[in-house]
Amino acid sequence: DPKIQNELQRLVDAGTLTQEDFSIITQQPGQKGHIKVEKRVYNRRGWSDSVGEAFNDLGETLSNTGNNIGDTVGAWGNNVGNGAKVAAATVVDAVADVVGKRGYQAVSGPRYSSVSDQEYSDASGPTKKRRLRYWLNSLQK
């Protein structure tokens, strides 16, 4: 077919196809050279496909490994973060408790300078508020 021959010639001119390949491809099927080149091209393609697939598999393995490492590090980071959050909350609670007791002792004034933990926990809201007002008023004098 002249159209195909022109297209093949264009590929030769562009340097994509060698003159040797062009002459063998344009031979009639069944001729010795034609079959030989088909085999050669097929083998070359088969080899490059195998190499391509091997690289593809390697890429996939590396990608999966990377994902697994990422997941593991992420989970570890999350655990560390959560651990730090819990630890921080515990410290804040402990500090708040101590400060609360100190505040209660301060608000209670000289008459209640030694306050037990039980008294601190048992004191009702209004009592605490009344003592806090008393303490704030004493600061303003």
Cβ–Cβ < 8 Å for 37, 25: yes
End-to-end CA distance of the chain: 113
Closest CA to 6 of 26, 20, 24: 26
Cβ–Cβ < 8 Å for 107, 134: yes
pLDDT tens by residue, 44-77:
555 566 667 777 777 787 877 877 787 888 788 7
pLDDT tens by residue, 95-137:
777 776 766 666 655 544 445 555 555 555 666 666 666 666 7
How far apart, in whole angstroms, are the C-alpha atoms of residue 4 and residue 33?
A: 19
How far apart, in whole angstroms, are the C-alpha atoms of residue 112 and residue 141?
A: 20
The ranges assigned to domains in the chain are: 1-30, 31-140
Cβ–Cβ < 8 Å for 11, 27: no
pTM of the entire predicted model: 0.27
